[in-house]
């Protein structure tokens, strides 16, 4: 061994001495660790600088503390939706959970505890009576499940359809009236027509057409129809 020459650790069989991190090596790592979420405005500025620099996404990402994949995603979303595409998108909630306010959830559970026979539709109707407590039947079902309630399918016997007849048994027991308007396009005039129909026979018992509408005209048609009976 020569005198006066320093001996490295590799020459004597030892492991190399670790070198302290330099500012260049630790800059991007510390930036990623300390920087919070970027605003859409900051992302637009970074995309503009990246396009002007001509650098690759990986090289530029190392300088600003983001990955190249993130830069590509930002550019794709910006080209599709503009600045709106750079806003953070809501991640949503797991399936089967609810986003309802705590006050609404507590009201649902409280009503169910006080009225065990109430279903989701009935609770929905009660909530809709108060402003700010709206919830769909499906959301109410999720709240009740989270509260420990077990859903049960109830078999219902189909009801026989009841035939409702909306007509009188004999003529002249009931008259129905209708007032509507229409336009004479060639003359540019608007007219009003009132008609009375017998509920049993569907026969028009009286009608009239005028250039104006009013209660006096309706009464005139009614009195004329009664006089003809």
H or E segment and range at residue 31: helix 23-34
For residue 10, what are its two tokens?
A: 């590799």
- The domain limits of the chain are 23-86, 102-146, 175-227
Question: Is pLDDT at 43 greater than 80 in this prediction?
Answer: yes
Tell me which residue of 112, 119, 109 sits closest to 156, measured CA to CA: 119
Question: Is pLDDT at 195 greater than 90 in this prediction?
Answer: yes
Section 206-217 average pLDDT: 87
For residue 119, what are its two tokens?
A: 């279903």
Q: Rounded to whole angstroms, how far apart are CA atoms 143 and 100?
A: 9
What's phi and psi for 9, nearest 5 deg? -70, -30
Over residues 88-140, the pLDDT tens digits come to 765 555 555 557 888 889 899 999 999 998 989 999 998 888 777 788 888 89
Question: Could you tell me the pLDDT band of residue 12, with boundaries at 50, 70 and 90?
Answer: very low
Mean residue pLDDT across the chain: 78
Looking at 92-214, list the stretches that DSSP marks H as alpha helix, in order from N- to C-terminal side.
102-114, 120-127, 137-146
Section 201-209 average pLDDT: 90
For residue 34, what are its two tokens?
A: 């300390």
Question: Is pLDDT at 29 greater than 50 in this prediction?
Answer: no
Q: Is 70 exposed, middle or buried (0-12, 13-18, 19+ CB in 10 A)?
A: middle
Tell me which residue of 30, 34, 90, 42 sits closest to 70, measured CA to CA: 42
Over residues 146-177, the pLDDT tens digits come to 988 887 766 777 778 777 766 788 888 889 88
């Amino acid at each position: 061994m020569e005198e006066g020459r320093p001996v490295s650790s590799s020459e004597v069989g030892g492991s190399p001495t670790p070198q302290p991190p330099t500012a260049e090596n630790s800059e991007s790592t510390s930036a990623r660790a300390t920087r919070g979420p970027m605003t859409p405005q900051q992302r637009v500025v970074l995309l503009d600088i990246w396009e002007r620099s001509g650098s690759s996404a990986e090289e530029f990402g190392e300088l600003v503390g983001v990955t190249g994949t993130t830069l590509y995603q930002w550019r794709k979303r910006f080209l599709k939706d503009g600045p709106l595409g750079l806003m953070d998108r809501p991640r949503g909630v797991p399936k089967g959970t609810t986003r309802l306010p705590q006050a609404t959830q507590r009201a649902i559970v409280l009503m169910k505890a006080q009225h065990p026979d109430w279903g989701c539709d009935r609770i929905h109707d009660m909530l809709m009576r108060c402003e700010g407590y709206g919830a769909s039947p499906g959301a109410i079902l999720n709240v009740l499940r989270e509260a420990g309630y077990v859903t049960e399918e109830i078999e219902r016997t189909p009801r026989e359809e009841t035939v409702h007849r909306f007509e009188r048994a004999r003529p002249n027991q009931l008259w129905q009236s209708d007032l509507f308007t229409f336009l004479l396009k060639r003359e540019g005039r608007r007219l009003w027509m009132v008609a009375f129909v017998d509920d049993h026979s569907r026969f028009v018992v009286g009608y009239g057409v005028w250039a104006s509408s009013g209660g006096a005209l309706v009464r005139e048609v009614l009195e004329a129809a009664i006089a003809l009976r």
